[in-house]
Amino acid sequence: MSDSACPNVGIIYNDAKPVAEKTAADLVEQLSARGCRVTSTTGSGGILGCSRLNHPVCSSPLEQLVPPGFDPSLDFAIVLGGDGTVLSAFRQLAPIGVPLLTVNTGHMGFLTEIYLSQLPAAIEQLLAGNFSVESRSMLEVRVFRDDDPLWEVLCLNEMVLHREPMTSMCHFEVAIGHHSPVDIAADGIILSTPTGSTAYALSSGGPVIAPEVPVLQLAPICPHSLASRALVFSETEPVTIFSATQNPIVMVVDGNAGCYVQPDDRVRVNRSAYSAQFIRLQPPEFFRILREKLGWGLPHIAKPTSVELP
């Protein structure tokens, strides 16, 4: 905590959601009245958008996404929105190591810690310093052309390379660490963190990975071979991907940032020195979240032994 009686607080909110915008304004007023230094911004600064074929560079250096007024002196930040806002907020604040309390004002909210109705009690808990911080791995994704960096982004969930809608199946040459490159024929490939294992990778048949396991996952999308299945390997291994396809392919990171990748480009992915710092108000219970959000491990309800016909 800061030396003052009340901590320094940052607020990031989804300005496309009126309830998040109003809650942010109310929090600024309430916390300022209690003597806190409060800085607020929208989550839009962490959404990089997508590049175009004739303008491939659309991103900023990782550290330049930190919003004005936000710095390491912040004791914590509060994020108001859905999972997209959470992903954006970590891209903005991970470089300065500020822990975030994630508040769900969206729908699924798989990455959020509490619902909006729980926020008043959570604020008291935060101000009392009664919380823990869970660190989760992030990735640094870069695109190179002739050894010149074109594009880079910080990633919490996954990096996806896939074909254009009107093109055929792609071939990817993937080199993991010092191992020999492998060729994967598929509609696309997903490289995910444990946090991202419950997102797109799960829909593509990959395993669920507990957040504390220090691994990455490579999952093919609609592979051509029955032998092409998800691969789990150490997060210390850097990954280099070449497209062995004549047409441009598309890269999307965390669902809200992307660029075109040309046949001669290479994509380089490694674990970032930055990590996502999640504030936990109670001990993390990953299986409970799987059960509540995805229905995993719910008790089986047997069918009746007999049906009485009308």
203 marked ligand binding residue: yes
Q: Which two tokens stand for residue 146?
A: 């002739």
Assess whether 83 carries a catalytic annotation. yes
Q: What is the mean pLDDT of residues 137-160?
A: 91
Burial class (CB in 10 A: 0-12, 13-18, 19+), 163: buried
Q: What is the mean pLDDT of residues 175-191?
A: 95
pLDDT in tens, 21-39: 999 999 999 999 999 999 9
Query: Which pTM does this prediction carry?
Result: 0.89
Place of tokens 């982004």: 153
Task: Please say if the pLDDT value at position 263 is more than 50.
Answer: yes
Burial class (CB in 10 A: 0-12, 13-18, 19+), 117: exposed
Name the least confident of 83-97, 119-133, 140-154, 184-198.
Answer: 140-154
List of E strands, the chain: 8-13, 37-42, 49-50, 76-81, 100-104, 114-115, 132-145, 148-155, 158-162, 170-176, 182-192, 215-223, 231-234, 239-243, 249-253, 257-261, 266-280
Q: What does the pLDDT read at residue 298? A: 79
129 marked ligand binding residue: no
Q: Which two tokens stand for residue 115?
A: 């619902």
13 marked ligand binding residue: no
Q: Active-site residue among 75, 83, 254, 265?
A: 83
- Please, are residues 279 and 76 in contact by the beta-carbon 8 Å criterion? yes
pLDDT in tens, 93-126: 999 999 999 999 977 788 999 999 999 999 999 9
276 marked ligand binding residue: no
- Please, are residues 163 and 170 in contact by the beta-carbon 8 Å criterion? yes
157 marked ligand binding residue: yes
Name the least confident of 133-137, 144-148, 235-239.
Answer: 144-148
Q: What does the pLDDT read at residue 296? A: 84
Place of tokens 């309390």: 101
Neighbours of 135 (CB within 10 A): 13
35 marked ligand binding residue: no
Q: With bands split at pLDDT 50, 70 and 90, how would you rate the model's confidence at 163?
A: confident
Q: What does the pLDDT read at residue 90? A: 95
